[in-house]
A and B are shown apart, each in its own frame.
Chain A
Amino acid sequence: MTGQSRRVRGTDLVWLVAGFTVWAAGFSAVYGLHAVGCRAGWEEAGFAGLSANRIVLLAAYLGHSALGAALYFPLVRIAARWEGLSARTIRQTAIMVTLAAVISTLWTGAPVLFLETCR
């Protein structure tokens, strides 16, 4: 596009998997923390009507969702500069996958918003 544009490289392919890597990390974190929390008795502690367990899970859920969404901005900025063969396809695909990953993170973790934790 501008004078800064450069050829798309092999390492740029990480953008094809970055979004869902965050999804996977979020999924593992929520699942793992839930198990640890129930085991360690975080259910009892807490404040403002929320158990510590719930707070930790919400933090992991919202944190990973935000992180996944945050990937979008550098991606569009960087991908706009790619040029050469494959640049367009990789850009399109990376953007689609990154957005799909955010939606997936929001969807799969959503049960922490309303289900009881340790039953």
Chain B
Amino acid sequence: MTPTTPVGLHRALDAIWRAPRGIAALSAVNHSVVGRRFIITAFIYFAIGGVLAMLIRAQLARPENPFLGADAYNQIFTMHGTVMMFLFAIPLIEGVALYLLPKILGARDLAYPRLSAFGYWCYLFGGTIILVAMVMGVAPDSGWFMYTPLASSTYTPGINADVWLLGITFVEISAVCAAVEIVVTVLKVRTAGMALSRMPLMAWYLLVTAAMMLIAFPPLILGSVLLEMERAFNWPFFDPERGGAPLLWQHLFWLFGHPEVYIIFLPAAGAVSTLIPVFARTRIVGYAWIVAAIIALAFLSFGLWVHHMFATGIPHLSLAFFSAASMLVAVPTAVQVFAWIATLMRGRPQMSLPMLYLMGFFSVFILGGLTGVMLALVPFNWQAHDTHFVVAHLHYVLIGGFVFPMLAATYYWLPLMTGRLPVFSVSKAAFWLIFLGFHGTFLIMHFTGLMGMPRRIFTYESGLGWDLPNLISSIGGFVMAAGFALFVIDIVLQTRFGRRFRRNPWGGTGLDWAMPTPAPSYNFASLPLVTGRDPLEDNVRLGADIAAGKGYLAGAPRGEMETLCVDMATGEPEHVLLLPKNDYTPFWMAAGLAVFFTAFLLSAYWVAPLGLVIATAFGWRWLWSLGAKSDPALIDAGQGLRLPVHFAVPSVPTLLGLKYFLAANAAFYGSLLFGFLFLWTTAAGWPPQFLNASPVLIAGIAISLAAAAIFATLARRSNSREANGARMIWLAGSLAASLAGLGLLMGLAIMDAPPPDTHAYAAITMAIIGYVILHTLLGVMFAAYTLARCRAGFVSSLRSTDMRGTAIWQLYTAITGIGGLALIILAPGGLA
């Protein structure tokens, strides 16, 4: 008997969705659990970064302070910046996104729960590596942007820089995973009727942010990989003595670094756009305008990176492009600010705790924007460059534009997690301490900077007029720290002793408030049909209806974890996504990577591949667990709707995810090719020696890669025609072609290419060849995998994911491989 009462539904669902306890918690993949882990870990890193900030302020409080030496100071400010940006801000956003998205989209989980679990472990392990290094006193010390040559082995011989490069790369894997997860979830995993135009704005913001992450993180990962190769194996990408260019690092870093500022800002702005209409008791003004503005902002933010390099002697004309773009980016930001103000004016704003923090955001962020426009003016930038003015500006933007809105969001959504409301007076006191302390610290720092105090100096002499402002900044810093401590206490108090409430304490209109609180493990007992942008306003009884099973996929009659996938634009239900049960695979796969990174860090280069083997083995197992051995029947989704299962339709989310992953991968490769062109145009005497590739070899490689792609496509076609003999033959052909290509590429690398440690040309050429080799090797594995899957009966004309995925991979490899080789041989000296 399937239960039909709300309590019965709850029991049935909770039985299969409940988070595992004890050691089995390592296998948890549910979005609420993983999201919460991200958020809590991020706040722990925030506390660590805050303690480091206090050490900085303690040191700078007095002139010629003997408290910290130069060495310790360098490590501390580097770690402060690194922890705050990479281990606090980005993961907090990921955590909020992973936790909230299904709840606001009307889904039971994300598109790939295991992927975000994997991302969490990468984050935790990578962050731990960095933290352990700090405790052992070998933390990175070259500044959070790790400029070369300062970060090269000549100037930073210890492992400090390697800790940064490897640790951050490990953490960034989780960012790329989260980005793929978010994009696919927003586009596909929503409830019925949730058309794009009915999505909460927060979902749009997170979609755009995640898309930016896909393009922005790869250049940083590439830069880190190249610099690590230089440090570990002496490949001179950045060494000017051997044809490299230190500026290449700056380009790669800021290609990531500026968009990063907006990646942090956009979700925070999303929270603002969510909260303002709720507390103004109205709807947001200019929905379509805001969507247009954030899309524009996402693109424009990629046209700004050189403004961090205004002082590096780049030609005026180039500077002018970037200066123009830097001013332009203010426009979409202004559009959002006007929409917020208009919304406030249209409604009847009510003061409440989250609103208080939003007021803090407004007042701080606008000042930060003004100083930002000042810095975008090239002549002023030359003046203020590398002074405490920049430090002040950066904190106005980051704390104003990110921390304040996130605190508001915390207070807004915490009751959803805990089912309790805050104890108000403590929260208010915390706000005022943070707010006043913040201005006390950073307002005056603008003047300290204008008086010429450089950033990143561990001490200063008395008598330059810097003594008093620094003391005030330090006192302000400690007041702010007290405020944050109070905030933490308040959260703990609220969680333990807060006032209980029944649903929807703030009067929100989104689906997140249509569930019981604290949010149940499965989110929705049945998935509602959404009829507008404010589902709770359209139907005040929606919560009760959902709990009573008056929606789609009510309960768990099949014992499966199910949610809907919809048409991207219209939100019409397309198929049922069956979600994975708890699984240790993500944990072990991340553990394999941890072995790899740690071994590399300790220069145990022969152990490192072992870690990769472990990770690959678990990756294989993961893929193998997808799909089924027979064609599934249609599922009765309720309300008279019968839908196919996700792995039996062509629009399966897995392939969409693969495509977005390849987009990130292409950004990585594109940055590598950019590096080749950059070195060619800037370095002197290029190229010094020639690749002299034999044309026959190059042609052989190109033909093999193309053949592998064509055969894989033919295999896919045979499969959809149910020509099962032919599909095996084509697949085997694709496998053989990839193997041949692999052999020839190895030949090129060993016989023709000059030794990579001799010159930057040789190094970057080898890096490109290495990229192609890696992808061809993976092509071999994908073809072999799909052959095995066919033999084991996982593949049919309906269940074609493996076939399609392999064809996409081989095509990508062929295009990038042939493109990269073409660049190499067309550049001077490429061909014999």
A107 with B197, Cβ < 8 A, contacts A13-B568, A92-B288, A118-B315 known: no
Given the known A-B contacts A13-B568, A39-B682, A88-B197, are A110 and B324 also in contact in the complex, defined by CB atoms under 8 Å? yes
**Is there contact, CB below 8 Å, between A112 and B317?**
yes
CB of B797 to closest CB in A, whole Å: 23
Within 8 A of B (CB), among A1-57: 7-10, 12-13, 16-17, 20-21, 23-24, 27, 30-32, 34-36, 38-39
A95-106: contact bitstring with B at CB < 8 Å (1 yes, 0 no)?
A: 011001100100
Nearest-neighbour CB distance to chain B for A94, whole angstroms, equals 8
A104 to B328, CA, bound (A): 7
Residues of B within 8 A of A117 (CB): 315, 317
194-230 of chain B: CB within 8 A of chain A: 195-198
CA A90 to CA B320, docked complex, whole Å: 34
Partner of A86, one of B300, B303, B569: B569
Contact with A along B556-597 (1 / 0, CB 8 A): 000000000001111110000000000000000000000000
Task: Tell whether, in the assembled complex, residue B295 and residue A90 are in contact, meaning their CB atoms are under 8 Å apart.
Answer: no
Query: A89 contacts B324, CB within 8 Å?
Result: no
Expressed in whole angstroms, the minimum distance between the Cβ of B649 and any Cβ of chain A is 14
Main secondary structure of the interface of A (DSSP, over half): helix
Cα distance A39–B828 when bound, in Å?
Answer: 14
The yes or no answer to B4 lying at the interface (CB within 8 A) is no
Q: Is A104 within 8 A of B296, CB to CB?
A: yes
Q: What's the Cα separation between A49 and B567 when bound, in Å?
A: 57
Interface residues as binary, B271-295 with A (CB distance below 8 Å gives 1, 0 otherwise): 0000000000000000111011001
Residue A77, interface by CB 8 Å: no
Q: B318 on the interface (CB 8 Å rule)?
A: yes
Asked if B325 is an interface residue, CB under 8 A from chain A, the answer is yes
B330-368 vs A, CB cutoff 8 Å, 1 = contact: the mask equals 001000000000000000000000000000000000000
Are B321 and A27 in contact, CB atoms less than 8 angstroms apart? Answer: yes
- The digit string for B179-199, where 1 denotes a CB below 8 A from any CB of A, is 000000001000001011110
From 53 to 88 in chain A, residues with beta carbon under 8 angstroms from any chain B beta carbon are 84-88
Q: Tell me, yes or no, whether B302 is within 8 Å of chain A by CB.
A: yes
A39 to B315: give the CA distance in the assembly, Å: 12
Asked whether B299 is an interface residue with its Cβ less than 8 Å from the other chain, the reply is: yes
Question: Which residues on A sit within 8 Å (CB–CB) of B492?
Answer: none
Taking a contact as CB atoms under 8 Å apart, the answer to whether B292 and A119 are in contact is no
B677: Cβ under 8 A from any A Cβ: yes
B195 A36 Cβ-Cβ under 8 A: no
Contact partner of B328 (CB less than 8 A), chosen from A86, A89, A107, A118, is A107
Given contacts A27-B303, A118-B315, contact A93 B292 (CB under 8 A): yes
- Please state if A111 and B315 are interface contacts (CB–CB under 8 Å): no
B681 sits at the interface (CB 8 A)? yes
Residues of chain A with a CB closer than 8 A to B292's CB: 92-93, 96-97, 100
Q: Is the CB of B296 within 8 A of A97?
A: yes
Please name the residue on chain B nearest to A117 by beta carbon.
B317
Q: Are B295 and A109 closer than 8 Å at their CB atoms?
A: no
Instruction: Indicate if B496 sits at the interface (CB-CB under 8 A).
Output: no
The answer to the question of B502 belonging to the interface, with a C-beta cut-off of 8 Å to chain A, is no
B791 at the interface (CB under 8 A from A): no
A48 to B681 alpha-carbon distance, docked (Å)? 27
Contact A34 B317, beta carbon cutoff 8 Å: yes
Q: Interface size on B (CB < 8 Å)? A: 37
Q: For A100, what are the chain B residues with a Cβ–Cβ distance below 8 Å?
A: 292, 296, 332
Alpha-carbon separation in the docked complex, A101 to B331 (Å): 12
* Cross-chain contact B196 with A86 (CB below 8 angstroms): yes
Partner of A96, one of B187, B289, B300, B328: B289
Which residues of A lie under 8 Å from residue B295 when comparing CB positions? 16-17, 20, 93, 97
Instruction: Judge whether A115 and B569 touch: CB under 8 Å.
Output: no
Residues of A within 8 A of B187 (CB): 10
Q: Which of A24, A93, A119 has the most CB of B within 10 A?
A: A93
Are B299 and A30 within 8 A (Cβ)? no
A85→B570 contact, CB < 8 A: yes
- Knowing A86-B197, A117-B317, say if A96 contacts B288 (CB, 8 Å): yes
Question: Closest CB of chain B to A20's CB: distance in Å?
Answer: 4
Contacts of A96 on B, CB cut-off 8 Å?
288-289, 292
Interface residue from A10, A32, A38 paired with B568 (Cβ < 8 Å): A10
- State in angstroms the CA–CA spacing of A27 and B302 once bound together: 10
| Residue B21, interface by CB 8 Å | no
Closest CB of chain B to A60's CB: distance in Å?
A: 12
Q: How far is the CB of B760 from chain A (nearest CB, A)?
A: 16
Chain B residues positioned under 8 Å from A21 (CB to CB): 299
Would you give the shortest CB distance from A18 to chain B, in whole angstroms? 11
- Contact flag A8-B299 (CB < 8 Å), given A89-B197, A93-B291: no
Closest to B292 in A: A96
Inter-chain contacts of B315 with A (CB < 8 A): 34, 38, 117-119
Q: In the assembled complex, how far is the CB of residue A108 from the closest CB belonging to chain B, in whole angstroms?
A: 5
Quick one: which of B309-323 are within 8 Å of A by CB? 315-318, 320-321
Q: Which residue of A lies closest to B302 (CB)?
A: A24
In the complex, the answer to whether A104 meets B571 with C-beta atoms within 8 Å is no
Chain B residues near A20: list those with CB within 8 A. Answer: 295-296, 299-300
Write the nearest CB–CB distance from A89 to chain B, whole angstroms: 3
CB contacts (< 8 Å) of B300 on chain A: these are 20, 104
* CB within 8 Å for A86 and B195 given contacts A32-B677, A39-B682: yes
For B211, the closest partner residue in chain A by CB is A17
A93 to B68, CA, bound (A): 54
Task: Report Cα–Cα, A32/B324, bound state, in Å.
Answer: 17
Rounded to whole angstroms, the CA-CA distance of A89 and B286 in the bound complex is 11
B291, B296, B325, B677: the one contacting A101 at CB < 8 Å is B296
What's the Cα separation between A111 and B323 when bound, in Å?
10
Residue among B197, B567, B569 with the most chain A CB within 10 A?
Answer: B569
Most buried by A among B291, B332, B677: B291
Q: Complex: how many Å from CA A48 to CA B317?
A: 21
A59 to chain B, nearest CB (A): 15
Within the complex, what minimum Cβ distance (angstroms) separates A4 from chain B?
A: 18
Which residues of the other chain, A, contact B678 by a CB distance below 8 angstroms? 35
* Cα of A91 to Cα of B295 in the assembled complex, Å: 14
- Contact for A13 among B289, B318, B569, CB less than 8 A: B569
Write the nearest CB–CB distance from B433 to chain A, whole angstroms: 41
For residue B681, which residues in chain A have a CB less than 8 angstroms away from its CB? 35-36, 39
Residues of A within 8 A of B197 (CB): 85-86, 88-90
Going nearest first, the 3 A-B pairs with the smallest beta carbon separation are A10-B568, A89-B197, A111-B320
Residues of B within 8 A of A (CB): 187, 193, 195-198, 287-289, 291-292, 295-296, 299-300, 302-303, 315-318, 320-321, 324-325, 328, 332, 567-572, 677-678, 681-682
Can you pick out 7 interface pairs between chain A and chain B where the beta carbons lie within 8 Å of each other? A35-B318, A36-B677, A93-B292, A111-B320, A117-B315, A117-B317, A118-B317
Known: A87-B569, A101-B296, A115-B320. 6 other contacts (CB 8 A): A9-B569, A17-B295, A20-B295, A35-B682, A85-B571, A100-B296
Residues of A at the B interface (CB closer than 8 Å) are 7-10, 12-13, 16-17, 20-21, 23-24, 27, 30-32, 34-36, 38-39, 84-90, 92-93, 96-97, 100-101, 104, 107-112, 115-119
